[in-house]
Amino acid sequence: MTATATTTSLRGAGRARTGRRGFGAMLATEARLWLREPGTVFFALAFPTVLLLGVGFAIPGMRDPITGAEPPWEGLVAIAAFVPIVLAAAIATPALTTMPVHIATFREKGVLRRLSTTPMRPQAILLAHLVINLVAVTVAAVLALVVAQLAFGLPVPESTGTVVLSFVLAVAAMYSLGTLIAARASTASTASAIGTLVYFPLLFLSGLWTPGPMMPEAVERVAQFTPLGAAAQAMTAGWFVQDFPTLQVVVMAAWTAVLLPLGVKLFRWS
């Protein structure tokens, strides 16, 4: 349904208007179609907040201060250690589970090939979905932080700039990975399978099951070289530690520098 509606709407939009105005019509069309899919909207916007509330209220002790731990964890409310991890999950969920599937659906249904016959080039649909997903990531992150503050109270980040920088680099790295998956997946089911296969191991390495002081040292060392593990560790450092996470920042930048050009180069339009 999405692919058919996209093709029909964008043929008219492409013939009528090109450039910025034509892209605006495409973006509006894709945004409306995106909002019609409840599952996509839930996991992109609400899942991080639901995850944070579930962990905070369902697991005993998560709202109690941590005792017997080394700084900066001593005295910290346990659920606060999950906040950087939830922000990482907010980035990874649409990057790996929704965007590649949408693009693969367009390829499978021939939308990209048909768009190439109109004044609106196929690249525009990629940019439209990138804009939609970036807005979704921002909304999801802000919503999770606001709800967490109201429900649990959060400490002020030691370095807001480091948290923001780490978040931006995490977005770049994870969407570069999502672009690479979307570049080669021939069908929506293939994109979903590959995205899921990558998504859950990266969530584990981000610390979703073993946050902060609970993560074994060996796992932490491996995680810091993965895009999502580096993201969670960098945001954790910005929030709770004064030292700048140089290694994690370099790792995220390196993943972006490798994956994004590779995804663009290998992208299949049909």
33-67 per-position pLDDT tens digit? 889 888 889 988 999 999 999 989 988 888 888 88
The answer as to whether 270 is a domain residue is no
The answer as to whether 139 is a domain residue is yes
CB count in 10 Å sphere of residue 144: 24
d(CA 22, CA 114): 16
% of the chain exceeding 90 in pLDDT: 51
74-101 per-position pLDDT tens digit? 788 888 888 999 999 999 999 998 899 9
**Is residue 21 within 8 Å of 41, Cβ to Cβ?**
no
Q: How far is CA 197 from the centre of its chain?
A: 15
d(CA 157, CA 74): 16
Q: Angle at CA 201, nearest 5°, toward 181 and 73?
A: 130
The answer as to whether 111 is a domain residue is yes
The answer as to whether 63 is a domain residue is yes
Reduced to 3 states (helix: H, G, I; strand: E, B; else coil), residue 244 is coil
Q: How many residues are given for the chain?
A: 270
Least confident range from 20-34, 49-63, 96-110, 138-152: namely: 20-34
**Is residue 249 within 8 Å of 162, Cβ to Cβ?**
no
Range of the domain at 230: 2-265
**Is residue 87 within 8 Å of 99, Cβ to Cβ?**
no
pTM: 0.86
Identify the pLDDT of residue 77. 86
Reduced to 3 states (helix: H, G, I; strand: E, B; else coil), residue 42 is helix
d(CA 160, CA 156): 8
Q: Which two tokens stand for residue 55?
A: 């962990």
The answer as to whether 158 is a domain residue is yes
CA–CA distances in Å: residue 244 to residues 28, 164, 167, 234, 247: 40, 13, 14, 8, 9
The answer as to whether 83 is a domain residue is yes
d(CA 8, CA 10): 6
The answer as to whether 58 is a domain residue is yes
Lookup result for tokens 């899919």: 37
How many structural domains are present in the chain? Answer: 1
- φ/ψ bin of 77: left (φ > 0), alpha (ψ from -120 to 50), beta (otherwise): beta
Please name which of 2, 261, 225 lies closest in space to residue 109, comparing C-alpha atoms: 2
The answer as to whether 220 is a domain residue is yes
